[in-house]
Amino acid sequence: MTTIQPMDHEAYMRFCLDLARKSPPKPTNYRVGAVLVDLASNDILATGYTLELPGNIHAEQCCFMKLAEQHGVPEERLKDVLPPRMALYTTVEPCSKRLSGNLPCVERVLRLAGSIQTVYVGVMEPATFVSSNTGKASLDAAGISVVHVAGLEPEILQVATAGHVLP
């Protein structure tokens, strides 16, 4: 893994961006990187990027699936085995709707409400696939702060949209 100082949000976002670059470019996905951090120890609990695992798997979903497997529990029971104070870093705002029929990433994060304190995002979800992402509002309503980490937007969007066909 990597050594990042506690609360160095830009460094965590850059780490997520490096993960996003591993995602294969496709016209139907954003290339996203995500990292789940234990706030008490500053340990990186899981990393993920879009399409890292088989299927149409988003970065946040990948983190949670890998953790569930590591702990031998279904993803729905992750809260039972994870630390009580975590932060999720992701290059793009977690999705609130999946066109593929998979559970949206926001719903997966909401399962960990009370444990995930904050979701740090590099950019809010562009309207390319889902015109109005309600993720931030849903997370705010559950007491999970959504914090924009400013400064990397052009680079994040360039990586996220690689492979997209522009009109």
Question: pLDDT for 106-132, tens place per residue?
Answer: 999 999 999 999 999 999 876 555 556
Using DSSP's 3-state secondary structure scheme, residue 45 falls into: strand
What pLDDT sits at residue 22?
98
Reported in sequence order, the residue ranges of 85-141 that DSSP labels E, i.e. its strands, are 86-92, 116-123
Low-confidence ranges of the chain (pLDDT < 50): none
Q: How far apart are CA 85 and CA 9, in angstroms?
A: 16
pLDDT at position 1: 52
Task: Supply the pLDDT for residue 99.
Answer: 73
Residue keyed to tokens 């015109």: 131
Q: Which domains does the chain have, with CATH numbers?
A: 9-160 (3.40.140.10)
Tokens of 155: 């680079």
- Going from the C-alpha of 147 to that of each of 43, 56, 165, the distances in angstroms are 20, 26, 30
3-state secondary structure of 121: strand
Integer Cα distance of 55 and 48 in angstroms: 14
Tell me which residues are annotated as active site.
Answer: 60
Find the DSSP H helices in the chain.
Answer: 9-20, 59-71, 105-110, 135-141, 153-160
- Residue-level pLDDT at 129: 52
